[in-house]
């Protein structure tokens, strides 16, 4: 199975003091005054390869590095060491934070067109899918309203519907299968199962171990930025449960 995503010895460190500085002035002042704090290592020489059509679940406690790893795979975070290799012929759609990238002043329809353009889709292609996106998200009455007027649930429904309707080759998911009301959760679970059956590559973070065990080809357990275990879902999940 050929790899469509590969991370080689990726290391990501965050400077806690620079993260707190919001302005250039604050950063300059901190550069003079700060007592040197140890950087937080979010990923520590992490390596993995994901094959074409593989469904991989990332598990671990909060702060283990799961979301950072997804952002490295998406190209949002560039590691200070190591490298990331992506198949340029695959459309990668990151659904890491619902509605990220939406412009609050634009309508739901306009944001769909904008997001489609960012993913390299022609406007007419996205426009042809708007009906299906709106129907799944159940936003027919609101699609031409600015998204700043949306509730968090409406935001979630539109973002999920849009991302999964854009026929991704690689889909990155970060804890989004539990958002919305119970009816939307069931719909999103069903759609994810359909996408998985279609053969796309999926890498997802979730604390729903039962769902991951039934849907994934493998699980990767992260602790302190390192891979503790990578293998068959049932075995990895059992070892993770026993560790707690």
Do the Cβ atoms of 147 and 99 come closer than 8 Å?
yes
Going by DSSP bridges, is the β-strand pair 218-223/81-86 parallel, antiparallel, or unpaired? unpaired
Angle at 102 between CA 96 and CA 106, to 5 degrees: 165
Q: How far is CA 161 from CA 6, 11, 99, in A?
A: 27, 33, 11
Pairing label, strands 55-59, 81-86: unpaired
The secondary structure of residue 146, as a DSSP letter, is: B
Structural domains in the chain? 3-243 (3.40.50.300)
pLDDT tens digits, the chain, 244 residues: what are they? 679 999 999 999 987 665 555 555 555 555 545 555 678 899 999 999 999 999 999 999 999 999 999 999 999 999 999 999 999 888 898 887 665 678 999 999 999 999 888 888 899 999 999 999 999 999 999 999 999 999 888 888 898 899 889 888 999 988 766 666 778 888 888 888 898 889 999 999 988 899 899 999 999 999 999 999 999 999 999 999 999 7
Mapped onto helix, strand or coil, the DSSP state of residue 3 is: strand
Counted residue by residue, the chain has a size of 244
Residue 130, token pair as written in the block: 């708007």
pLDDT at 28: 53
- How crowded is residue 56: how many other Cβ atoms within 10 Å of its Cβ? 21
Cα end-to-end distance, the chain, whole Å = 34
pLDDT of residue 193: 87
CA distance 121 to 94: 15
Tokens of 46: 């992490």
């Amino acid at each position: 199975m050929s790899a469509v995503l590969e991370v080689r010895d990726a290391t990501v460190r965050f400077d806690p003091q620079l993260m707190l500085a919001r302005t250039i002035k604050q950063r300059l002042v901190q550069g003079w005054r700060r007592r040197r704090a140890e950087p937080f290592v979010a990923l520590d020489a992490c390596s993995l390869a994901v094959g074409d059509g593989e469904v991989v679940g990332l598990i671990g406690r909060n702060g283990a590095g799961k979301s950072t790893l997804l952002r490295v795979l998406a190209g949002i975070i560039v590691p200070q060491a190591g490298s990331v290799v992506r198949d340029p012929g695959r459309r990668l759609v990151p659904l890491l934070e619902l509605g990220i990238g939406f412009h609050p002043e634009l309508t739901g329809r306009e944001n769909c067109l904008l997001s489609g353009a960012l993913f390299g889709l022609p406007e007419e292609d996205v426009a042809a899918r708007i009906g299906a996106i709106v129907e799944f998200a159940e936003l027919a009455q609101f699609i031409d309203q600015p998204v700043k007027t949306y509730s968090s649930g409406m935001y979630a429904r539109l973002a999920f519907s849009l991302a999964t309707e854009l026929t991704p080759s690689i889909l990155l998911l970060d804890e989004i299968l539990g958002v919305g009301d119970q009816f939307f959760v069931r719909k999103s679970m069903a759609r994810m199962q359909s996408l998985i059956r279609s053969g796309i590559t999926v890498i997802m973070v979730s604390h729903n171990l039962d769902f991951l065990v039934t849907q994934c080809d493998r699980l990767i357990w992260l602790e302190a930025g390192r891979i503790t275990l990578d293998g068959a879902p049932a075995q990895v999940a059992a070892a993770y449960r026993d560790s707690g």
